[in-house]
Structure 1
Amino acid sequence: MTAPTDSAQPKTAIVFPGMGPSTFAEVGKFLMLDPFARKRLAEADEALGYSVFDALRASEDDYSEATQVAFLVNSMASADRAEQELGLVPDLCVGPSFGQKAAAAYVGSLPFPDVVRLTAELARCEHTYFTEQYQDAVTHTVVRTPRGKLDEILSEFDARGEWYDFSGYLDDGFVMVSLREKELDGLKHRISQVGGYSMYTMVPAVHAPAFTELRRRAAEEILPRYAFTDPKLPVVTDQDGTVITSADDLRTMMLDTFDLPIDWPKVVAALKTAGVGKLCVTGPDNLFHRLDCTKRNFEVVTVGPGARRARPARGPRPR
C-alpha cells in the first residue's frame, strides 16, 4: 500500500479565543504562577511602563485596558507552552474577536510589545467612544434559539423602531445580538418563551454594524502608528472565513472586528476546506472549544488557564 503523502496529512490550526468573563483570582493566579505568563507579563510591563498585574488587581471592569492586556498575555503564554510542551507547529492561525490581537503577534505581523501597546490604545479608544456614543448598548448571547424564532422576536423590535444588530453567529441557534440595555429584560423573556436560553451579556457592545465611527477612529487615529508585516502563517478571518496572507488584509481584519459580526461556522468551514483536522485553542477559553460545530469537526486540544493538560472539549452550559 502506498504511504500517504504529506499533503494528505490533516493540518493543525492554532486558535486564540475571544474574551469572556473572568475573575481576578483566575487570571491573576495564572499570571503569577505560570512561567510562560510571567515572561510575557514582564514584556507587557516594559512595553506599557506600568505594572499590568497591579492595574488588573485594581480594575473593576471586565474589559478594562489592564484586563485586555492580561488576556493577551495569557493567550500568548499559552501558545508558548503549547509549542514547548506539545510540540505545536500549526499550519494556520485563527483569532476570533479579541483573539485577533494575539493572532497578529503570533504570526509575526506585529512584535508582541507593539501588540501590547496597540491593545491598550484600542481599549482607551473604545472606552472614549462608548462614553460618547451608544452608552447603553450591550451584546447579549443566546443559545438553543432557532433562527426562525429569533427572527420573529426581532421583528417586534423592527415594529417598534428599536435598534439591534447581529454581532456574532457562533453555532446553530447560538448567536450574539447587540441592543439597547433597556430592551434586554424583554429580549430575555421572549427568548425563554420560545424555549431558548440567555447566556451572558457584554458591556460595552461589540462587533455591531452600527459602530462604523469606532472603526473610523481606530483606522485613522491608532493603526497608522503600527507597521504591519505579512503574516508568517495564513490567517483565517473570523468574519467570513477568508484565508489571508498579507499585512494589508490582516490590518483590515482587525478593523472589521469593530463593525462586522463574527461567524464561527464559516471559520469552521474554511478550516475544513483547508484540510485542518486538529485545533489547539491557546488561552482562557470558555466558549469556542465547546461549540458543537467545533467538536464535531476537529480534534480539540486546549492549553491555558484551567487547561492543565490536553483534554477533549465539552459542550457549553447555558447560565
Structure 2
Amino acid sequence: MSKIAFIFPGQGSQAVGMLNDFAGLSAVDEVLQQASASLGEDVGQLIANGPAEQLNLTTNTQPVMLVAGYACYRAWLAAGGRAPDLLAGHSLGEYTALTAAGTIAFEAAPKLVRFRAQAMQEAVPVGTGGMAAILGLDDDAVRAACSEAAQGEVVQAVNFNAPAQVVIAGHKAAVDRACAVAQAKGAKRALPLPVSAPFHSSLMLPAAEKLEEYLAKLSFSAPAIPVINNVDVAIEHDADRIKEALVRQAWRPVRWVEIIQALAAQGVTRIVECGPGKVLAGLVKRIDKSIEVYTITDQASLNSTLEALK
C-alpha cells in the first residue's frame, strides 16, 4: 500500500469562520473546548467570529492555527480516515504535526505555541523587522542578494517554500535592500509580507532561548507517527532531540522543498494538507508533480478525501 502523509499549515492561512463548516461535529467541538480550557478564553468564539484583527495577532494566530489543524485531523479520524504514515508541518505547523503524533499533549499545545508567539514578538520591536517573498530566483541567488544587502544588518533566506519561491527575513531596511538586489538579479517579484516579526531569522535567537526554557518544563512522548522536522529534514524519536530541534527551528530556515522530497523518498505518493487554506497543497504540486495532493478544510473536502483515499 502506498504511503500517505499529512501536512499542517502555519501562520497566514487563518480566516474568520475557518471551522464553521464543522459546527456541531463532536470531534471538533471537543478540541475547541479543550483549547478554551487550556488558554482560559473562548477559542471557538475567536475562530468563528474574529474579529480578523484579533485573529491575525501572532499571539492568537499561532494557537488558533494549531487548534484548527488539529481539529481537522480529529474530524478525519472520527470519520474513519486512516492514520497517516508520516507527518510534517510548515513552521508553526510542525507543532500541530507533533500534537497529531502524540508527542505534545493537546492540553499543553495551545499554551506552548502562544508562548512561542509572545517570545518571537518580543524578540524584535514591532516595525523594525520584516519579511518578503522573492519569486523567480534560485536559492543561491537569493542567498547572494541577502549577503550583498546586509550591510552590517541581518537579512537571510528563511523559508525555502518551492522552486524559485524563497522568503527572506531580517531588519526591515536590510530586507528592503535585499528585495532591490534580488530584482536587479532577475527576480520576477519581491513582495513584502504583512507579518509582525522576522520569523526564522537569527533575530529570533532571544525567542529560541526563552522557548528552550519553556520546553524543558514540558513532558514530550515518543511520536506514534514519524514527523519530518523543519530544521534538519530529519525524523527524531527522542523527546529531548525533538525539543532541541524546535528550539533551533525558531531561528533557522524552514526547508520545505527538502521536506516534501524526503516524504517522497520515504515512499509517500499521496499528501493531505490538513487545516485551513490550501497554501501547502499548492507548494507540493510545484515541488513534485507526481504526488497526489488532497486537502481537508471543510466537510466537503474531508468527504472527498475520504473517498479518494479508501
Shorter-chain TM-score category? Answer: 0.7 to 0.9
Give the match's secondary structure for 1:244. Answer: coil
| Residue in 1 that maps onto 2:308 | none
Residue number among 296, 311, 316 corresponding to 2:289 in the alignment? 296
Residue number among 164, 170, 178 corresponding to 2:161 in the alignment? 170
| Residue in 2 that maps onto 1:316 | none
Q: How does 1:104-119 map to 2 (within 5 A)?
A: 104-119=98-113
CA distance in 2: counterparts of 1:152 and 1:212, whole angstroms: 22
Deviations 1:182-236 (A, max 9, x none): 345554455455242234613211111332221111112x112211111111111
Deviations 1:11-57 (A, max 9, x none): 11111122215432x43635756654332111111122221245563
Count of residue pairs brought into register by the alignment: 298
**Deviation of the 1:281 alpha carbon:** 1.2
Q: What letter corresponds to residue 229 of structure 2 in structure 1?
A: T
CA contact (8 A) 1:65 1:120 kept: yes
CA distance in 1: counterparts of 2:143 and 2:215, whole angstroms: 36
Q: How does 1:158-237 map to 2 (within 5 A)?
A: 158=150, 160-192=151-183, 194-199=186-191, 201=193, 202-220=195-213, 222-237=214-229
Q: How does 1:124-143 map to 2 (within 5 A)?
A: 124-131=118-125, 136-143=128-135
Q: Structure 1 residues 224, 87: closer, same or farther in 2, change over 3 A?
A: same
Q: How does 1:79-98 map to 2 (within 5 A)?
A: 79-85=73-79, 87-98=81-92
CA distance in 2: counterparts of 1:294 and 1:285, whole angstroms: 18
TM-score by length of 2: 0.84
Q: Could you tell which deviates more after superposition, 47-56 or 166-175?
A: 47-56
CA distance in 1: counterparts of 2:286 and 2:140, whole angstroms: 20
Q: Could you tell which deviates more after superposition, 286-295 or 144-153?
A: 144-153
**Deviation of the 1:130 alpha carbon:** 2.9
CA distance in 2: counterparts of 1:205 and 1:30, whole angstroms: 33
Give the match's secondary structure for 1:119. Answer: helix
| Residue in 2 that maps onto 1:15 | 7
Root-mean-square deviation (CA, aligned residues, Å) is 2.7
CA contact (8 A) 1:153 1:190 kept: yes
Give the match's secondary structure for 2:170. Answer: strand
Deviations 1:78-133 (A, max 9, x none): 112222336222111112200112112111112211112212222232233334xx
Residue number among 244, 247, 271 corresponding to 1:252 in the alignment? 244
CA distance in 2: counterparts of 1:283 and 1:144, whole angstroms: 28
**Deviation of the 1:279 alpha carbon:** 0.9
CA contact (8 A) 2:135 2:165 kept: yes
Deviations 1:227-251 (A, max 9, x none): 1111111111122321222212221
Residue number among 263, 285, 290 corresponding to 1:271 in the alignment? 263
CA distance in 2: counterparts of 1:293 and 1:268, whole angstroms: 10
Q: What letter corresponds to residue 10 of structure 2 in structure 1?
A: G
Q: Structure 1 residues 176, 110: closer, same or farther in 2, change over 3 A?
A: same
Q: How does 1:8-157 map to 2 (within 5 A)?
A: 9-24=1-16, 26-27=17-18, 29=20, 32=23, 36-54=27-45, 57=50, 60=53, 62-85=56-79, 87-131=81-125, 136-147=128-139, 149-151=141-143, 153-157=145-149
**Deviation of the 1:261 alpha carbon:** 0.3
CA contact (8 A) 2:98 2:104 kept: yes
Q: Structure 1 residues 140, 34: closer, same or farther in 2, change over 3 A?
A: farther
Structure 1 residue runs of 5 or longer lacking an equivalent are: 1-8, 312-319
Give the match's secondary structure for 1:178. Answer: strand
Identity %: 19
CA distance in 2: counterparts of 1:28 and 1:279, whole angstroms: 21
Q: Structure 1 residues 195, 117: closer, same or farther in 2, change over 3 A?
A: closer
Q: Structure 1 residues 153, 119: closer, same or farther in 2, change over 3 A?
A: closer
Q: Structure 1 residues 72, 155: closer, same or farther in 2, change over 3 A?
A: closer
